[in-house]
Every structure is written in C-alpha cells, then in structure tokens.
Structure 1
Amino acid sequence: MSCTKYFILLSAFLLIYSQTSSAQTSFRPKAIVLPLTKDLPTNQYVTEIKQRTPLIPIKLTIDLGGEALWVDCSQGYVSSSYKASRCGSAQCSLANTRACSDCLSGPNPGCNNNSCTLYPENTISKLDTIGEIAQDVVALQSTDGYNPGRLASGAVGMVALGKSNVGLPSLLASAFSFKRKFAICLGTSKGVVIFGDGPYNFLPNHDLSSGLTYVPLLTNPVSTALNYFDGEPSYDYFIGVKSIRVNNANVPVNSTLLKINNVGFGGTKISSSTRYMTLESSIYKAVTNAFVKARSNVRRVNVVAPFSLCYNAKDWSSTRLGLNVPLIELVLESSSVSWSIYGANSMVDVGNGVVCLGLLEAGVNPRTSIVIGAHQIQDNLLQFDLASSKVGFSSLLYGKQTTCGNFNFTSVASKIMP
C-alpha cells in the first residue's frame, strides 16, 4: 500500500464538547469517555469521534493493543489544521520512530516530504502499511443522557489503546494531566472506554471502581506487531497465567508455553481485535478434553465452524452467569487468584438452538500461546493502570446485576478550545 493513504494521529488539539449544551467554560475534565457500539456482523467494537477542521464524524474500531490512532486519508481527507510531523521533531522522538520519508505525489494529508512514519496495522485483517505521523483536531463527546447515539457506518481507522507513548491513553493523560490509566467495558451491544480514574458508574446504581482484582501487567520484550523496529517491545497487554482449571480440576499443560520466552513467543495477552479466545494446540486439546470430561453425560451435536465443540442449548440449565457449563479458570498469581470464564463468556450461540465452546485452536507454534478474545472479556470491566503496570478485572458483571451496556453517560457538558 502507498504511504499516501494513511496517517497516524500522534498528538492533537483536543475539544471536549456536547450537542446538548452551549456551555463554553474551559476546564480540565477528570475523565473522558468514548461510547462503544458492537458491530454485530463482525463483532468488532467501534466508536465515533469528530475530527479535522471543520469537524466531521468518523467511525473507528477499538484496538486494545494498538500503538497509535490511525486514519485512512485516501478518500477526500480535507482539514485546515492537519500538520505533518517533520523528521527529527519532538513528535517523532515521542513515537520512537526511526523512519523518515519523502512523498512523490504530495503534499497532502498522509504524504509530505521530510515527515516521519510508523506502520499502522489493521489487527483485524492482519495487514499493515506505511503511515505519516501527524496532528489534527479531535473532538471527544460528553452527553447529558444515557444514550450516546448511533454510530456512522464504515470504519476508517482504529483507536489505539496500547501501552505506547503515542497510544490514546498516554496522549490524553498528557493533555489533561490524567492518571495514566483507562477502563474498558465491552457489552453485547454497547460499551464504553473511560480515560482517567473512576468512579465508574453503571446503572442502576453501581460504582465498579472498587472491588476489582489486580494482577501485574507483563512486558513482552519483542514487538507482536507485523512491522516494528529492532528492540521495540510489544504494546499489547500481557498477564501471567500460571495454570488452567476446568470445573475446579487442574488441566495438564506445558507450563513453558505460559511464559514469554527470550524471542517474544508464548504467554497470554488480552485482545479486543481477536474475536474468540485462541489457544496453542496442546493447550487447546487439554482444555477441550477436560471440558468434555467434566460433562460427559451431555451429548454433542454437529460442529459449526469455526468451533469444534457444540451442544444443544436446551441440554444445559441457565443461570445468572449464562449456561451452567464447566467453569474455565485462568489461574494468575496463586490458586486463589483466577480469571473465571463463566458460561456467558465461554459459550457462543450459533443459532438454531445450538451453542458452541468459544475457543479456537491457534496451531503448534503461535506467537502468543493464549489470546483472551473479545467474547471472553465481554461484560467484564477491565482497568489498565499503565503507570503502575497492573490490570484490574471485575469478573462477569451479571453477578452484580448490571452489564457494560449500562454505563451512566450523564455528565456536565463543557468545552475546551485548542
């Protein structure tokens, strides 16, 4: 792909605005929220922001481990405030890029001489290209109601929430003196990303900022991106899984696969762009065998791709936490600290009364041994504290009688001018 097609939003003039208020007082917000909507055909989570001068709405896909916000600017990108980052500038240094390029067809957004570049990656299609680092106006919305409104169709880029200096959590923390943390909650139809600290208020009356279980975030010393510079670490969020239990019984797995080795293979990461949990082949077989053994009296039915273990839904009883299937636990710090995957997060309704175990086999030597996918983190609140290098998780919110779709979007509307 040509470098003229994409740009990476490294830094921005930020607006906080509301469509329901004319308040013009400048302020420093305690937190910023991005409402999310789940695109049902793809199961991707998308948000809408306003960007450029004059402002226009654009739709972006959420990428939990992405390095930098990127936008496709090949289709009539027009903005009077667009500014490319010149090679050797502070912006290029912040992005830790060593690439500098000229443009044969420019100048225009995405293609300017003497501009530094990165490699924006579409983590859904597993494709990447060259993108120009630039800055432009971005407006982030706050509303006075519970419903953030429908998003426009047609995503044109990705919102990067990774650990890099140019990920949106770091940029917003720098712009507004936030704590360098954010929370994400992906629902069955709606959700939210909250930049800054709590409280995290969910209807009917729940502050979910307390009661989270925290474990360390691990650093993979080798980038997991398709294209990267030598010595660049991964910006994905890795956690330390020590063992796996199914129905309270330990599953025999090769513990070496659970660790990140010196060339960046192995370990466990959390991903919003991976649809379902993927497991290295030997781990996948051990977990699915344990699942079948735990309920050997429940008959299986013909499989539905891409899954390999399916049942009649009516053969399982229902609970508040989903179907009463064997509990899958990722044991983290000790036997008493685990990520519990209940029926709502382990089973997938594929239609016609059939449900399938939402785990996929990743092959013999995948880059990452376990990837916790979007279906597994659905309706779980996760808080990523980048400054303290830890992640907090709530467990399935159904047990607290709320969901990620119940975030209270009520807020005071104000506006910051650049």
Structure 2
Amino acid sequence: MDFAYTDKVVALQDRLNRFMERHIYPNEAALNAEVAAGDTRWKPVALLEELKAKARAEGLWNLFLPESELGAGLTNAEYAPLCEIMGRSHWAPEVFNCSAPDTGNMEVLVRYGTAEHKKRWLEPLLAGEIRSAFAMTEPEVASSDATNIATEIRRDGDSYIINGRKWWTSGANDTRCKIMIVMGKTDPHGTDRHTQQSMILVPTDTPGVTIQRFLPVFGFDDAPHGHAEVTFDNVRVPVENILLGEGRGFEIAQGRLGPGRIHHCMRLIGAAERALELMCRRLMTRTAFGKPVAAQTIWHERIAESRILIDQARLLTLKAASMMDTVGNKVARTEIAMIKVVAPNMACQVIDWAIQAFGGAGVSSDYPLAWMYANARTLRLADGPDEVHRNQIAKWELGKYDPRQPSLTGGDASVKPRA
C-alpha cells in the first residue's frame, strides 16, 4: 500500500501551510479576542470572514467531497493530509469551508438530497453563506446505542411532525445556522431496530424548534459555533424534507460518519503534531535544576513516544482512507472503527505531555493546548464512544473464525468488491 502523496497533494499541502503561516497562526489571538469582545458570542466573526474570502480567492475551498464535481476532486486519501494541516488550529477548518458538521451535512445532501434540497441548502453551504447542524444525540437515552434514539417523526398528511429533545447539536447556536439534519423514529414499533430511524431536514426557523441552552465542553463554548440542547415541539415540515425515505436513517448515518471520522482523526493528528512541536520548543527554552529541561531523560522518552504514536495513527488513518476510496466504506468499517479509537487516545496522550511541559501555562488560554485536549477528549465520545468501536472491532475479528461464515484464511477483507 503506497501512501506517497501525489504531486497535486504536495502542492496543496505547500499552499495550505503557507496560508496557515501567513494568515491563521498570526490571527488566532485576534480571532479569540473578537469573539470575547462581541455583544453576542454567536454571531459571525468579521476577521474570520475576511480569512475565508482570502482562502476562497486562493482556491483553498471545499477541499473535501470525494467523488463529487462540487469539491476539489480529491479522494479521501488525498484529502486526509490536508485535513491534518487544518487540524493544527481551532479556526482553520472553517476558513477553508471544511469544518464539521457542515462537511458531513454537505456530503449527506450530495449523496441523498433531492434537486430541491441541493438548491436550497447545499449551494449556500458550499458557498459558506450559511451553516448547519446535525441533531442525533439525546439526553434521555444512552445514545451510544443509536437505536435508542426516541425523537418522534410522525407522518401527518403532506407533513411530518417532529417531537423530541436533542443535545450536543453542534453549530445550532450560530446565528448563521439555517438547517438541521435530525435523526428520529418514523417506525418505533418496527421489528428491525435499524430501520425504525429516519433523517429529515428541519429549517432552524421552523415553529417549535427551540435552542434551550448552549453546552460548554470543559468550559469552552466554541463560539460562535458551539453546541446546543434543542427541543422539537410539534415541529411540522413538508414530507419532501425526508432524506432518502423512511427507515433509511442508519444507512445515511454510515455514509455520513465514515468520512467524518477520517476528518476528525486527521485533524487530531494535526493537533498532536503541533502539540509535539510546541512541547519541543518549550523544553529547549526552559532550565530547571541546573540544566535544560530538554536534557531530562523523561522528556526524551515522551518525545520519542509521541513521535511513534503520531506516526502510527497517521499510517492507520491513511490506510482507512485508502480503503474507503478503493473498496468502499462498508469493507473499510474495521479500519474506520480502529482509527476512531486510536487517534483521540493518541492525541489525548501527546497533548497531555505537552501541557505537562508547559506547566501552568499549558492549562491557560495563552496557548492552544487546553482547547486541543478538551477537543481530543470529547472525540473519544463523539461519533461513537471508544467502547462501542472496540466491541465492533472484536466482533468482526471473531467473525473471521465463526464456522458458519465463509473462511477468510489466506485472504483479506480488503479484496472484497466495493460496497
């Protein structure tokens, strides 16, 4: 398996890195200050909009969307190293219109939306004119088992009526958020628990949609994007807003979450790379007990282990991305699950060591490490907790030895036809 980057990717990496050096890193403090100084934390950030215009003018825009003429024509494997660069800064993904949950929602609309859905919602999302939210997790049930999701989507003539409560609905606080993709049950009594669920488009200004509160993560509110608890009280939307049809919610979720997990993991690798860089620079400028901190052997161990962990995570993620491109998401499901466990745990460890190297400064807001850690720790839960992915990996591994299944001896799941 060859992970050498193509000339196209190398050129884009160079352009992205130069943009980050010129426009992102020098403006991080100013972007944070603008959010803090505003009369509301949830409105667009003027400086961020200026940077988005610069990125779009330079052709660094909508770099995701594999297998679509609407993106940059990159495969998952080609986009992954670019996503890593964006992951080095909290602000960068939105600058290039490559931030969650918009990327996942745009992929859903590209794959499963009607012509009207694409005209009304996809086009302004691709243009960066609006933002979106994805409403799946619920506070009243263990959402790690998505079949528990209880929000009701009930057919009523030419409409669906939605009732339920969601939380950790990322992006819903943002004043630019105009559309939500909501997952709920259209057939709560169906015999197949995986066809009870559907996904539906809900404009945020629909009567009955209420943002109850914003939800900070370890004290970070992630404004102006944020995460919200949202209630749906007899929310009525047209029948045409259903995506793909009733009972197709899990099918859509798998199509959406596979690429999204690749994005999350590569951004985490970028964050871990920056944390390691900050760690090394800090250690080389501090003296303790009569010699540079970088000379302490405990830090040699941590630096070496960080490099090993990061490179292992990157290679596994690139393998998963390559398999998604060549044999499809279904065949690559084990690799996707593995990276979703490996990358957040790796990032948590490397960033934790970097925080330790900075001492008190590491837990302050003077450096990006505290936010990086909070984000990495959150991603051990988002898009499925570690435990669920580990259980699935184990079941698939045991399945290779089930006498009732075709033998895989001497073969590899990766040689199966594309799903």
Q: Structure 1 length as normaliser, TM-score? A: 0.25
- State the structure with bigger RCO (CA 8 A, min sep 6), 1 or 2: 1
Q: Structure 2 length as normaliser, TM-score? A: 0.24
Q: Which structure features the higher share of strand residues?
A: 1
